[in-house]
Structure 1
Amino acid sequence: MLTLSPHIFTYGVLFHKSPLNPFLSLPGMLQDQLEGVLDEDTVAEGLHKLGRSASGTKYVYLNLSLSGRELSDINILSRYVHLQKLELSYNKINDLSCVSQMPYLLQLNASNNDLTTYFDFKPPKNLKEVDFSYNQIPKMQDLSAYHALTKLLLDFNNIAEIKGLEKCHSLTHLSLSHNRLTAIGGLENLPLKILNLSSNLLEKITGLDSLKTLRNLDLSNNKITSLEGLEEHDLLEVINLENNQIAELGELEYIQDLPLLRVLNLLQNPVQLHHYSSSFFFSPKLWKQVDAVNKYDPPPEVVAANDHMTQIMYGMLQPQRIFDSTLPSLDAPYPMLVLVGPLACGKRELTHRICRQFNNFFRFGPCHTTRAAYFGEENRLDYYFVSQEAFDKMLSTGKFIATFKYSGYSYGLGRDTVESIAREGLATCVHLEIEGVRSLKNTYFKPRYILVVPMNKQKYEGHLRRTGLFSRLEILEAVSRVDMYIKISQDFPGYFDAVVNTDELDEAFTELRFLIKAYLGLEPPAVSDTSQDLNSKAGTGTVSRHILLLLSVKHSNLFVTRIKIWD
């Protein structure tokens, strides 16, 4: 049950204001003694975004903005335990120890202050975005405790070495421009998509080999002389090398095979043509080759992007409405659970068992397909089996969220399927091949993906043969795809949120059940009385019209906050 704190509309957090203000009880105190000290009235001015607390039982102010107030002492904020977003930019702060008392903090902006260290506080468990730009930080700290960190800005500091990020397995955006870096290091196997190292002292591009998810790279205003080190970054789209020391056009050979590169900035470089012809890189013949590849043998990502564009185009042609899967908060997308794996690996059976055991939380969402039903499959229970004509008609009327093709047949996750489940206040659980995952990752949905894959290929092949459903070629292809799934999981950390071995289905389900219970908070290792009461109420009985499941997963570390929303 949601309650309103009697103090909440005065100060926006759960604390009691003392009737005696210690600052007012000292007669004759000079005003300059209070300069820079944060008081409750100033806090009240900056509080905004009234919402539910993380426990879901109280209304609290979630955001606090105190930018540009010349603050130097903010210790009073240790009382504000429910804050999720804290803005402290443009002040004179040199101590952030109060953040240790904010376990639910998600975003922190402490740029333009007087900090000489960072993360010098007890880590909030789900802290995602941090900005420490424009401070006086001389070196980086060990951030092993910050598993959920996705964005870290350290521009305009005095940092000479990148370190301490090895365990930041969620970090996708890192910016260290205007520092004193002389080499690139300490970034091994991070899932970075955006990396800004501009305005440093770099001379070579090294240390980027393992950043296979990198999409946007800014190395402008350095002393780089070669593009060596940029090759084999197949997802790289933007490279900014403005104002460096690149003198040979032949350096472009290192990046000419990057399939998605669309922006290359070489302004203010001493590039000399010599005997090279610019046509070797900008040749119309090259672009024709790219067009031909994308048309006749497109990479999987291009196929998924085209499928997504098709859904968007046809969806925009339909009457627009607010979907049942649209939740009140932009920070909390509609919850979906996707089991991913090769053909007949057990993902269908596991999906059904999950939905049966956790029927107060999940409902199975069958996909539409143009293939015929296998022995034992039922229409509307396992799939919606439709003709190609009916599938194309649904496609052209915007009925699908995501579509893909596998083994010559079309598959699609229907919009009405997901919306009907959302109307019941439940999360959607589906199973897909990797082609469907690539398409679904382009949508605004943010599912949790669990890879279910057989590790014993010989046993898996025997299972496929015993079913009597597949040809020899289909079996060979399915077995070969096992290595592909495992390679994707290894090469792209975070692409799947967990991996489960399906050699033994009962053991696989036991592991899945443990993961799901961790998702739902049904078996936490240690909880307070309030949390126990909330879990006991939410784990039994009838589910209210909407249940919002905020599932935060990273490999085997699973965290969950469950919030009930009234009818």
Structure 2
Amino acid sequence: NDVEEIKGLEKCPSLSHLSLAHNKLFAIGGLENLPIKILNLSFNQLEKATGLESLKSLQKLDLSFNKITSLQGLEGHELLETINLESNQISELHELQWMEDLPLLRVLNLLKNPLQEQADYWLWTVFTLLRVTDLDLQKVSVEEKVAAVNKYAPPAEVVAAEDHRTHLVCHMLQPQRILNSTLPGFDASYPMLVLVGPVACGRRELTHRICRQFNNFFRYGPCHTTRAAYFGEENRLDFYFISEEAFEQMVKSGKFIATYKYSGHRYGLGRDTVESIAREGLATCVHLEIEGLRSLKCTHFKPRCILAIPRDKGKYEEHLRRTGLFSRPEIEEAVSRVDMYLQVNQDFPGYFDAVLNTDDLDEAFTELNLLMRMYLGM
């Protein structure tokens, strides 16, 4: 047919199925508030998907063989189950966002669209539209959905395992030698003490104090980081401050035991750092964010882990603000992570060997001192 504009359907209040395929429609209109469940507008000249907003009963939609470049207009259809967009001109993966919140969408056809040529097309589409079971006339497997999530929004445990795999492989590619940190025995791991908690919660101060108090047993192991030093921090004493390029080279050279990212910066516990302490016959004491601890727990080390956490979030927020080191978004993120740490402690009993309240650092150190004496059998 030669229909160029949809007219006169407002007098069809019971219309549930409509096909206007093989016409010359340039835009969608004239369908306002109709109870249409199945709509076929294939083989037209449509360039946009707008004009469908009021079709709240829509379940199946065929817009194949048009000239559509944007998917805006498909959002908000809570009953929409099937969409056919074959042979259009959709070229950008971000257009999928308009279908992301369709709760019943199960079948989607994007064959013969330019976006299919993008390398990440399949997994990104599966990830963005996890409810879809049939994509481009193929069944989406559970394994593909898991792979998509692991690639674009991996669970923390997957990130840690991948981090460990990277460092293990890179280390194995280097000339091998006997490590002092592997010598305690087959039934005993090299001793390591890790204090974890949100940024500026007091874990740094407690780590240094416990190493001074028990200097015959522990030595502090500075991590490497790509961030700049905060006021009062010293290179080699608090961290090894290095460039992004130097950090990446250390990764490739197998120099790290564990690494993690926090607030846009990278942190890593170096093998040589631990080895130099082990050669002295001492245990390594470090402080990390939980991302680093997860990675470390994937290794052969079995660290004693102590959660240092402020219980008074208002006081903690004020402390962060008074330091003058953190932006408002960084402060908000740090405060929000207090609840995350506490949730981990609640959901995974035994993940931390002990929990310290750092609202008062002197009291926290007294408790930590007692814990270390028990740990060392003193």
Query: What letter corresponds to residue 314 of structure 2 in structure 1?
Result: Q
The alpha-carbon deviation at position 435 of structure 1 amounts to 0.2
Q: Specify the SS of the correspondent of 1:430.
A: strand
Count the aligned residue pairs. Answer: 243
Is 1:517 the counterpart of 2:368? The answer is no
Is 2:221–2:273's contact at 8 Å kept on the other side of the alignment? yes
User: Does residue 378 of the first structure (1) align with residue 234 of the second (2)?
Assistant: yes
C-alpha distance after superposition, 1:79-119 (max 9, x if no partner): xxxxxxxxxxxxxxxxxxxxxxxxxxxxxxxxxxxxxxxxx
* Alignment equivalent of 2:183, drawn from 313, 327, 330: 327
* Equivalence for 2:300: 444
Which of 256, 259, 262 aligns to 1:403? It is 259
Aligned residue runs from structure 1 range 168-567, under 5 A: 283-522=139-378
Structure 1 residue identity aligned to 2:317: E
8 Å CA contact 2:312–2:359 kept in 1: the answer is yes
What is the CA–CA distance in structure 2 between the aligned matches of 1:493 and 1:301, rounded to whole Å?
A: 16
Structure 1 residue 298, shift from structure 2 partner: 1.1
Identity level (%) = 74
5+ residue gaps, structure 1, are: 1-278, 523-567
1:214-268 Cα distance to aligned partner (Å, 9 max, x none):
xxxxxxxxxxxxxxxxxxxxxxxxxxxxxxxxxxxxxxxxxxxxxxxxxxxxxxx
Name the CA distance, whole Å, in 2 between partners of 1:395 and 1:505: 35
Match of 1:515, as an amino acid?
Answer: L
Q: CA deviation at 1:521?
A: 1.6
Q: How far 1:329 moved relative to its partner?
A: 1.9
Instruction: Give SS of 2:164's match.
Output: helix
RMSD between aligned residues: 1.4
Deviation per CA, 1:169-224: give whole Å up to 9, x if none: xxxxxxxxxxxxxxxxxxxxxxxxxxxxxxxxxxxxxxxxxxxxxxxxxxxxxxxx
Q: Name the structure, 1 or 2, with higher relative contact order (CA <8 Å, separation 6+).
A: 2
Question: Contact 2:184–2:190 (CA<8 Å) still a contact in 1?
Answer: no
**Structure 2: how far apart are the matches of 1:318 and 1:327?**
20
Checking the alignment, whether the CA contact within 8 Å between 2:211 and 2:220 is kept in structure 1 is: yes
More helix by share: 2
Deviations 1:127-165 (A, max 9, x none): xxxxxxxxxxxxxxxxxxxxxxxxxxxxxxxxxxxxxxx
Distance 2:232 2:171 in 1: 34
Q: C-alpha separation between the residues in 1 aligned to 2:304 and 2:146?
A: 33
TM-score (norm 2): 0.63
Q: Deviations over 1:345-373 (max 9, x none)?
A: 00000000000111011000000000000
Matched residue of 1:325: which SS?
Answer: helix
Residue type of the partner of 1:366? P
Q: Could you tell me how far 1:520 is from its partner in structure 2? A: 1.2
> Aligned-pair distance for 1:322?
1.1
User: Which one-letter code corresponds to 2:320 in the other structure?
Assistant: L
Task: Give distance in 1, aligned partners of 2:237 and 2:231.
Answer: 13
CA distance in 2, matches of 1:389, 1:508: 38
Alpha-carbon shift at residue 297 of structure 1 (Å): 1.4
Distance verdict in 2 for CA 1:290–1:504, change over 3 Å = same
Gaps of 5+ in 2: 1-132
Distance apart, 1:321 and its partner CA: 1.3
Q: Deviations over 1:428-477 (max 9, x none)?
A: 00000000011000000000000010000000000000000000000001
Distance 2:318 2:195 in 1: 22
Q: What is the CA deviation profile of residues 291-329 of structure 1, one whole-angstrom value per residue up to 9, with x for unaligned ones?
A: 222111111111111111100110110111110112242
- Judge conservation of contact 2:257–2:296 (CA < 8 Å) in 1: yes
1:290 Cα offset (Å): 2.3
CA distance in 2 between partners of 1:462 and 1:419 (Å): 39
> How far did residue 519 of structure 1 move?
1.1
Separation (CA, whole Å) in 2 of partners of 1:521 and 1:283: 60
Give the number of the structure whose alpha-carbon radius of gyration is greater.
Answer: 2
1:435–1:328 CA distance, 2 compared to 1 (3 A): closer
Name the residue aligned to 1:214: none
